[in-house]
Amino acid sequence: MTFGVFMHKDGSIYDDIPEVHYQFPKIYLSRAKQMVGDWVVYREPVKLPQSKGFFAVARVERIIPDPDVSDRYRALIEEGSYLPFSPTVPHIIDGEPVERDLANAQAAVRPLSNSDFSRIIALGLPDDNLLPRVDNAESEDRLRDGEGQMPYEIERPIVQLLVSRPFRDKAFRRAVLNAYDARCAITGWKLLNGGGRAEAEAAHIRPVEHGGPDSIRNGLALSGTAHWMFDRGLIGLSDDLDVMISRHVNDLPSVEAIINRSGKALAPVRESERPHPQFLRWHRENCFKH
């Protein structure tokens, strides 16, 4: 098993849903098989305008032939393993590439060294418990073994954190609120306390306990009241983000009064961060009280 990189571009010819599966041609099959059971980071191409760089991490569960296209395959992502980076990690920091041990930067599927993996995770999921500290290159170099790799003792706590529910909740909240600029998608309110903490909460559209990923596209920034109503199916969203109010609401005028004037959920501009129709459909079919 080995860490890896999956190159992803929204709107490409490949049928990717990074939270669920990654489609690739046959030429990458042998490489992808090495990553089964291990973690990969997603990266946007360097030449893409306003590229996000590295934007998420996930674990590969298995590889299957693509059911729709011959000579293509799918890497199926382990349920509940996908986690977005916030901040996203640029390709280059202070003039140095973040992925330093790469053999071919153009390959869409490629292995990732242990040290590069550790560095990217620490930058994309900043936390005091993560090692190594990447704000000090000298201290990072001292942690390397004789072959320039991060020792297993460094990688192990990072991987343990990636499956920790409290850590994932914290990372999901940070990513969603950053994408929504801490503004409630339903009310439009952006309320901050004296310490700068947002009143808005990060809500899953499809809950984790029902197979929903910790993905920005499966998230909404919602005020406490809007979050409570959304989880109980009293409000929902169409694929076009129109706010729907359930007939079960007992105080319709009050609910209508807190919805922002557009009548639509306020979503991020970037398409890759907007609610995915697949998750919105699940909420309408399984949660929303029609």
Give the per-residue pLDDT at 152: 39
Tens digits of per-residue pLDDT, 115-158?
A: 899 999 999 997 754 444 444 444 444 434 444 444 434 456 78
- CA 275 from centre of chain: 12
Q: Are the beta carbons of 34 and 28 closer than 8 angstroms? A: no
What is the total residue count of the chain?
290
What's the CA gap between 104 and 132, in Å, rounded?
25
The boundaries of every CATH 3.10.590 domain in the chain are: 4-163
Tens digits of per-residue pLDDT, 11-31?
A: 889 988 999 999 999 999 999
64 pLDDT above the threshold of 90? yes
The CATH class, in words, for 4-163 is alpha beta
In a 3-state reduction of DSSP, which class is residue 153?
A: helix
Reading the block at residue 148, the tokens are 């320039």
Q: What is the largest CA-CA distance in the chain?
A: 68
Please report where in the chains the tokens 């990553």 appear, as a residue.
Answer: 35
Tens digits of per-residue pLDDT, 87-108?
A: 999 999 998 889 887 656 678 9
What's the CA gap between 24 and 21, in Å, rounded?
10
Tens digits of per-residue pLDDT, 238-267?
A: 999 999 999 999 999 999 999 999 999 999
**Helix, strand, coil share (%) of the chain residues, nearest 5:** 30, 20, 50
Torsion of Cα atoms, 117 then 181 then 163 then 60, to 10°:
-60
Tens digits of per-residue pLDDT, 190-215?
A: 999 888 889 999 999 999 999 999 99
Give the per-residue pLDDT at 161: 86
Mean pLDDT, residues 60-67: 96
Q: Give helix 152-162 / helix 114-124 axis angle, nearest 10°.
A: 40
- CA 241 from centre of chain: 20
Quick one: CA dihedral 240, 246, 249, 252, positive or negative? Answer: positive
175 pLDDT above the threshold of 60? yes
In sequence order, what E strands does the chain have? 4-7, 21-25, 39-43, 54-65, 72-77, 83-89, 92-93, 96-97, 109-111, 201-204, 219-222, 235-237, 243-245
- CA 187 from centre of chain: 24
Query: Closest Cα to residue 159, out of 129, 137, 202?
Result: 129
Quick one: CA dihedral 15, 43, 211, 286, positive or negative? Answer: negative
Helices (H), 110-198: 114-124, 137-142, 152-162, 165-179
Query: Closest Cα to residue 233, out of 207, 271, 200?
Result: 207
The DSSP 8-state label assigned to residue 255 in this structure reads: H
pTM listed for this prediction: 0.84
Give the per-residue pLDDT at 11: 83
Backbone φ, ψ for residue 289 (5° rounding): -90, 100
